[in-house]
Structure 1
């Protein structure tokens, strides 16, 4: 499907007027941000488009726990202060996923491979000792390894793996997770590891026998298991937006 233009307008890129900055700073102490205060987990992973697996992106997830069966995550293109909110991911337990009908399951992906392989990593503050961070990561990932995610991309990804357009153009898109070796763009993975000062290879070794998931439930990852790359398509002047293979 056509990819919308991804140029950034240089005249306003990254600019915030002094008036807007002062207004934001003055308003913050007066307002409530309760839903955001519930965010308690942060992870960095990679997503791809099921209908075009060459389009991949590094994604930073900030998640809150609704209950034992449900999480919800705000997904950004970086961990910087001016990062773009590019997607939303809902995460559910295996128990809840098994209750979905087959038509709904087609939108969901498993987390087994990315948790076991080292692709999904927990982020931590710079001053947290490495050993403390490692010990905290294992139980978090063991909790996630048997979960399922539904990710809606709001900001289009260009061919370079970036959300470089000025606005989130086009319809929402379905994103999925990796399920096997050989799928991830190695250059993108190298950039992610370099930015986080980690090694995915070492992460995988650390998790052997410690992070281990159940067999993926039938109906998840249909883009690869059944060759059904479901996506949202916009037919433009026909006035139709639909999800189809």
Structure 2
């Protein structure tokens, strides 16, 4: 899938008029932001398009808990003030995943590999020591390891993993998570590690023997397990795969 060219993307990048700034700042004391107050987790990981594996994106997740079985996450392309909201991800427990019908399961991916491999990391404040972050990550990752995600990408990426179009073009798309070492583009992982000042391989070593997930439940990761690489716009109203 192609996306709009980049030439128009930077016309007003990071530019905010005085009127816009005043409206933004002035409304804050008067308005309620209760749904955002529930955000209690910040993670950085990578997603890929299952029908085009070279298209991969670094994703910053800010998640709130609905209950023991459900999380919901706003996904951005960076952790900066003017980051683009590029996707949403819903995360559910294995118990809830196994209750889904077979057609619905194909939209969901497992988190076992992400958690164990070091690919999923917490987004910490700059002054927090890495040792403290690493210790906090372990129990949080073990809690996530046996969950399943449904990621709906709203802002498409180009071949460099950048949301370079001025607006989110095209239909929403389902993204997947990685399930093996040879799937991620090394330059994408290096870019993420450099931005966060971490080493994925070191994270992996720290988690050995401490973060361990169940084998992914049957029905998840169908793009990889069954080789059914599809997208929403290919499959009709409900995304039903023809047998």
Q: What TM-score do the two structures reach when normalised by structure 1?
A: 0.94
Partner residue in 1 for 2:208: 208
Matching of residues 79-94 of structure 1 within 5 Å: 79-94=79-94
Preserved CA contact (<8 Å) 2:10 2:166: no
Alignment partners' CA distance in 1, 2:223 and 2:114: 16
Matching of residues 96-175 of structure 1 within 5 Å: 96-175=96-175
Matching of residues 161-240 of structure 1 within 5 Å: 161-233=161-233
Preserved CA contact (<8 Å) 2:109 2:150: yes
Alignment partners' CA distance in 2, 1:13 and 1:241: 35
RMSD: 1.5
User: Which structure 1 segments of 5+ residues have no match?
Assistant: none
Partner residue in 1 for 2:4: 5
How far apart are 1:13 and its partner, in Å? Answer: 2.2
How far apart are 1:12 and its partner, in Å? Answer: 1.9
Matching of residues 16-95 of structure 1 within 5 Å: 16-95=16-95
Residue from 235, 239, 242 that aligns with 1:243:
239
Q: How many residues align?
A: 240
Residue deviations 1:11-64 (CA, integer Å, cap 9, x gap): 322211101101110110110000000000000000000100110000000000
Preserved CA contact (<8 Å) 2:3 2:157: no
Alignment partners' CA distance in 2, 1:10 and 1:163: 11
How far apart are 1:242 and its partner, in Å? Answer: 6.6
SS of 1:36's equivalent? Answer: helix
Preserved CA contact (<8 Å) 2:9 2:164: no
SS of 1:243's equivalent? Answer: coil
Q: What TM-score do the two structures reach when normalised by structure 2?
A: 0.95
SS of 1:195's equivalent? Answer: helix
Relative distance call for 1:234 and 1:18 in structure 2 (3 A) is farther
How far apart are 1:171 and its partner, in Å? Answer: 0.3
SS of 2:239's equivalent? Answer: strand
Alignment partners' CA distance in 1, 2:144 and 2:159: 29
Residue deviations 1:220-245 (CA, integer Å, cap 9, x gap): 0000000111312279xxxx767366
SS of 1:140's equivalent? Answer: helix
Preserved CA contact (<8 Å) 1:230 1:244: no
Alignment partners' CA distance in 2, 1:241 and 1:15: 39
Alignment partners' CA distance in 1, 2:181 and 2:22: 49
SS of 1:233's equivalent? Answer: helix
